[in-house]
Amino acid sequence: MTTDPQLRAPLPAERRTALLAALDRDGVVRVADVSRALGVTAVTVRRDITQLEREGRLVRVHGGAVPAAAPAASAAPAPSPTSQTVGVLVPSLDYYWPGVVRGMEAEAREHGLRVVLRGSSYETPDERPALQRLAEADGVSGLILAPRTDGTRGADVARWLRDSGLPHVLVEREAALAPHREALESVVSDHALGALMAVHHLADLGHRRVGLVLSRESPTSRKIAAGWRAACAGLGLSTEEHFERLAPDRRNPEFPGAVTEVVDTAVASGTTALLVHSDPEASAVVQEAMDRGLGVPGDLSVLSYDDEVAGLFSPALTAVRPPRAAVGHAAVDLLLKRLADPERPVHRVAISPRLVVRESTGPVRPG
């Protein structure tokens, strides 16, 4: 994310307030994320963290900070020799997933469980070897995992889970067993509902041309697109009034060109609002629009899907916030109930996100 040099740099008090707000919301902040979102150097962010630590407001950790009030490891219930261990495998240990994992760890502490966390990768072609190592090396009683479910991978992992005999819960993923499509236990954010809420918010502001920008590699994109289409159909917004673009991953060299194309298309088509997944993509679109002299939200309203760092950007981005911590809590709760009663019916839990209205969305400009 780049920052317009003409924008006013946030004052120290504003930076620290934004940093603490993100910490309160997500339970952790990363120097790189705050630096990028606020348009200041990493050195400046580290100084702010150091000052806030002196004031007792947070605790520094490698690469960022955690709340000072977070329960210390010594304060957690000490696992007994017979306590159970939960294995967790997620595709990332930085963006999005830390909030989910913290919810798992908090719920596990309540029950004296030990969590063994492993990270995979969105590029990992097959998670089964990692799951096998987790199950064998750590002697887990059950698994919570977010595997890739596209193509044949989902079916392969589902079969492995069935054959392992371990209780398991999918988190932010859904899968089923062939041949009868028996569902696996799962906890997900209702991303389709989140997208529907976003489009309704923009329509309430008078927008009739609402574009959708998706992350090409994200498993969340399909559900966001479904909610967007359902909202457009329910509100009578025709497909001719909208456009959809798949943005390359922000680390891809093609990313700047894709952002330029999104803004080009919005201007040419008369689109006045965009729903963008996720925060870095949304902030890049806003920056491109402002670099061209477009007002945000005056000429183009932008609503982000994720709310990881949306509130730190200027203007602060209206965003849909998935219930990350709640998903983590519910996943551990489901696994505990499965361990206690192996014959209980399969549960699939969908938790609603929240819409957080900020500065980047507003009424359609007359004329």
Domains in the chain, CATH or no CATH each: 12-67 (1.10.10.10), 83-190+325-352 (3.40.50.2300), 191-322 (3.40.50.2300)
**Is the pLDDT assigned to residue 29 strictly greater than 80?**
yes
For 302, the 3-state DSSP assignment is strand
pLDDT band at 209; cut points 50, 70, 90: very high
The pLDDT tens digits for 89-139 are: 998 887 789 999 999 999 999 999 999 999 887 666 678 888 888 888 778
pTM of the full predicted structure? 0.78
> 364: burial class by Cβ within 10 Å (0-12, 13-18, 19+)?
middle
Give burial (CB, 10 Å; 0-12/13-18/19+) of 307. Answer: buried
pLDDT digit string (tens) for 290-331? Answer: 999 999 999 999 999 999 999 999 999 999 999 999 999 999
pLDDT at residue number 74: 38
The mean per-residue pLDDT over the stretch 197-224 comes to 92
pLDDT of residue 132: 87
pLDDT digits (tens, 9 = 90+) for 242-282: 778 787 777 789 999 999 999 999 999 999 999 999 999 99
pLDDT of residue 32: 82
Closest-CA residue to 92 (of 254, 218, 256, 252): 218
**What is the number of other CB atoms lying within 10 angstroms of the CB of residue 32?**
13
pLDDT for 80: 42
Place of tokens 């913290």: 102
Q: 17 or 303: whose pLDDT is higher?
A: 303
Report the pLDDT value the prediction gives residue 243, as an integer from 0 to 100: 76
The count of other CB atoms within 10 Å of the CB of residue 350 is 16
Residue 77 has pLDDT above 70, yes or no: no
Residues 6+ apart with CB under 8 A from 270: 209
Tokens of 14: 């504003």
Does the structure show a pLDDT above 60 at 184?
yes
CA distance 183 to 175: 6
Whether 227 and 257 have beta carbons less than 8 Å apart is answered as no
Evaluate if residue 145 carries a pLDDT over 50. yes
pLDDT at 1: 40
**What pLDDT does residue 28 have?**
81
The pLDDT of 57-75, averaged and rounded, is 66
